[in-house]
Amino acid sequence: MRRALKAVVCLGLSLSLGFSTVAFGAEKKEGISSEVVNKRGQLSSEVQKVKDIQGFNTAQSTKVSKKSKSVRSVANLKAYHINTRASINAINKKIENGQFNVASPITGSNQLISNIYMPTKGKLCVKFSNVYVTSTGVPTQTPANCTVTLTDSKGNFVASGYSDEGTVIANYVNEGTYRLTVSSPYNSSVATGYIPFYYSSNNGNLSGTAKYIAGNGGNNYQNFSVSKRSQVWTDLVSDKGYSLKSHIEKKSGKKWVRVTDQKYSYNSNLRKYHALSKGSYRLVISGTSKYDIFTARYGKKAYTGKYATKKSKSKSISRKKSKTNVLTASDAKKKTHWYKFKVSKRRSTQFKVTTYNSSGSVTATLYKGKKKLSSRTAYSPSYITFKGKLSKGTYYVKVTKNTKNTSGKYIVKYVK
């Protein structure tokens, strides 16, 4: 039966930890590669199958009389919480050690085998597999098609599945206790191996580790903090491939104030970049679906380099050198940072501004003295390049935050 439960939890959220770069230098998000979808349209999970019911090692099995159609004792279980890859590995370790739950023999219809406690709102799932049992009560290796049903404490339907092995039944539920029943094929005895697990839809805290969250039909709030002026990136990935809407809010006194534009995540492998000053923040994921599971995480890097807000105090950049800084969401609209570079003689020159702004827009403007030579605007992470033959002299580059919600890291480089 371990073979029968082997496909593993996270309802298809198989995340790669590798990163690569996209065209303009932004990192790729963790990609989801969904597992095979079963004939009921439910994603297979990453909880391993129970291959062998014989010799299982658990104190939570349900005992049934060989002659009776009713269960003598019922397992009272708490569903396992799935919130990280580590929690998936922990469940699989239990299964490898034979610590899954088994009810045997089951000889009739709608036999109650377990009361499952769900400690929070979220998606409750049960992975199960069934095999036939001999007349002497010994489980075989022959898969048995059975109906497994989950109801609430009042008997109201929650979810069901009809299969022999490797099936997940799941639905969004409230906190409470739920009943798991099994119906064996006519005039047959079966054994059922199963493991209950859940994804919480509670608000919480973000970290650099992908966090698995159940959609709740509304908004979800995930908190994080920033101790210095930093570039902050966020990843949101939907298991169903749904578009996820999100924005960032900063705590101001007792209120939360939006500091970024609303952005959509289409599983496009592009991160959302922002620049934030010191403070407490939350990522607001809007309009989530109860049918979906998604992952969220964030990262940050502080940038404490000095910058000039006046042309007269422009920071010098030497040839083939660069400087990095951020325009934060808390900076005023039209905030400017100034840089300068010198051309020693007339020659082909290139100066590049790389922006990482997922909200608003950034404009880079090139001057010689008071004369404006060129100006370009970036509305998303991209390059702005000034190139051509320039005469001897001192040139200035102004980097401007165009809107209130503009934020992001930028790099200015005197290429040649």
**pLDDT tens-digit series, residues 108-147:** 889 999 999 999 999 999 998 899 999 888 888 899 999 9
pLDDT of residue 36: 23
> With a threshold of 0.85, does the pTM exceed it?
no
**pLDDT tens-digit series, residues 317-345:** 999 999 999 999 888 999 999 999 999 99
Whether 177 shows a pLDDT value over 80: the answer reads: yes
- For residue 388, is it within any domain? yes
Residue 66 pLDDT grade (very low, low, confident, very high; cuts 50, 70, 90): very low
Reference 286, options 251, 329, 252, 238; nearest CA is 238
- For residue 286, is it within any domain? yes
- For residue 205, is it within any domain? no
Other beta carbons less than 10 A from residue 408's beta carbon: 28
Reference 166, options 140, 138, 195; nearest CA is 195
Among 282, 302, 322, give the residue marking a domain's end: 302
The pair phi, psi for residue 332, each rounded to 5°, is -70, 150
130 and 82 in a common domain = yes
User: Which of 114-123, 133-142, 222-231, 307-316 is least confident?
Assistant: 133-142
Whether 309 shows a pLDDT value over 90: the answer reads: yes
370 and 243 in a common domain = no
Whether 43 shows a pLDDT value over 80: the answer reads: no
77 and 2 in a common domain = yes
Reference 354, options 411, 275, 272, 273; nearest CA is 411
174 and 243 in a common domain = no
pLDDT of residue 381: 84
193 and 73 in a common domain = yes
User: Which of 29-38, 253-262, 264-273, 406-415 is least confident?
Assistant: 29-38
- For residue 207, is it within any domain? no
47 and 83 in a common domain = yes
Q: What's the whole-number average pLDDT of the chain?
A: 82
The residue behind tokens 């503009």 is 406
Cα angle, residue 106 at apex, residues 101 and 110 outer, rounded to 5°: 95
235 and 323 in a common domain = no
**Structural domain span for residue 134:** 1-200
- For residue 126, is it within any domain? yes
Q: How far apart are CA 228 and CA 197, in angstroms?
A: 38
CA 178 → CA 117, 119, 216, distances in Å? 6, 11, 19
Residue 276 pLDDT grade (very low, low, confident, very high; cuts 50, 70, 90): very high
248 and 164 in a common domain = no
345 and 270 in a common domain = no
- For residue 208, is it within any domain? no
Look at 97 and 201; give whichever has higher pLDDT. 201
The CATH number of whichever domain residue 326 belongs to comes to 2.60.120.380
226 and 185 in a common domain = no
Q: How far apart are CA 179 and CA 103, in angstroms?
A: 14
**pLDDT tens-digit series, residues 156-172:** 999 999 887 778 899 99
CA 61, chain centre distance (Å): 34
81 and 5 in a common domain = yes
125 and 57 in a common domain = yes
